[in-house]
Amino acid sequence: MIKTLKDFKREFLKIRSEGWKETHRKGPTGVGKTLEDLLGIPENNKQEPDFGVYELKSSRKDSRSMMTLITKIPSPNGANKRLLCSFGYISSAYENNKKVLHATLYANKFTKIADTQYSLKINYDNSRERISIHYKNEITKEVKDTGIFWDLKILKKEIESKIKNKIVHVIAERRKGRQAEEFKYENAYLLKEVSPEKFFELLKNGKMSVDIRIGQYPNGAPHDHGTAFRIKESDYHLVFDTEKIV
């Protein structure tokens, strides 16, 4: 089993030189499982490094799958309740007339909210040191601030405390093989430190989204699954100060 970054580089270069590898597991986790097997790393579901002091992450180069970086409820107190009351909608997924609110928001465009007359977007306001949610009335075209926001200083602390292990992020090409999906592991990045500045820049240019996920418990009470800041798994390394290692 590999233990150091030097060990990883040596074994990864061998794997890369061998070209395409058939997946060892069907589905989204196949790219990671296959690489772990090739490196001799036992499957590990615990919150601890995969080898030495490093956590190993693998992504398909063209993947559209999203991953959550942090979850953070907006301010002020009761913000999600206000969002639900103002912009929620009745969903056929639930057998009642109570509102839910599932929406993926971006800073570079408005997102239409189901069959309501509203759209929502993220607004990065550096002068007020906050990220706020704005709404647009699709009938009147009026745009206003909802008064719901995240403080940049609080978000920065949350971002910096989220990632503790050192990370090696591997990106793989993929293709459909004769029997199953195949991978060609090409690039590996050492992710040094999460960068709040890069995080905010990705949010501003629309490469990161904010997911509002307010559903229902079986009794009809609102169930807040957590407001999530998400990014494509293939862009994960862009949030860090990185070093291409092979």
Residue 153 and residue 196 in contact, taking contact as beta carbons nearer than 8 Å: no
Q: pLDDT value at position 53? A: 87
Task: Provide the number of structural domains found in the chain.
Answer: 2
Q: pLDDT value at position 165? A: 64
Residue 203 and residue 36 in contact, taking contact as beta carbons nearer than 8 Å: no
18 with 118, same domain: the answer is: no
Indicate the DSSP class of residue 234.
Answer: G
44 with 145, same domain: the answer is: no
Identity at 14, one-letter amino acid code:
K
For the whole model, what pTM was predicted?
A: 0.81
Indicate the DSSP class of residue 78.
Answer: T
154 with 230, same domain: the answer is: yes
CATH code for the domain of 167: 3.40.210.20
Q: pLDDT value at position 164? A: 63
pLDDT tens digits for range 53-103? 888 999 999 888 898 999 999 999 999 999 999 999 999 888 888 999 999
CATH code for the domain of 74: 3.30.70.3570
Q: pLDDT value at position 222? A: 87
187 with 203, same domain: the answer is: no
Residue 103 and residue 89 in contact, taking contact as beta carbons nearer than 8 Å: no
Residue 63: closest CA among 29, 34, 96: 29
Q: pLDDT value at position 44? A: 72
Q: What parts of the chain have a pLDDT lower than 70?
A: 45-47, 163-165
Contacts of 124 (CB under 8 A, 6+ apart): 107, 131, 200, 203, 204
83 with 122, same domain: the answer is: yes
Q: pLDDT value at position 163? A: 67
116 with 216, same domain: the answer is: yes
φ, ψ (nearest 5 deg) of residue 84: -65, -45
55 with 81, same domain: the answer is: no
Identity at 5, one-letter amino acid code:
L
100 with 29, same domain: the answer is: no
92 with 138, same domain: the answer is: yes
167 with 153, same domain: the answer is: no
17 with 94, same domain: the answer is: no
**Full residue range of the structural domain in which residue 35 is found:** 5-62+163-193+240-244
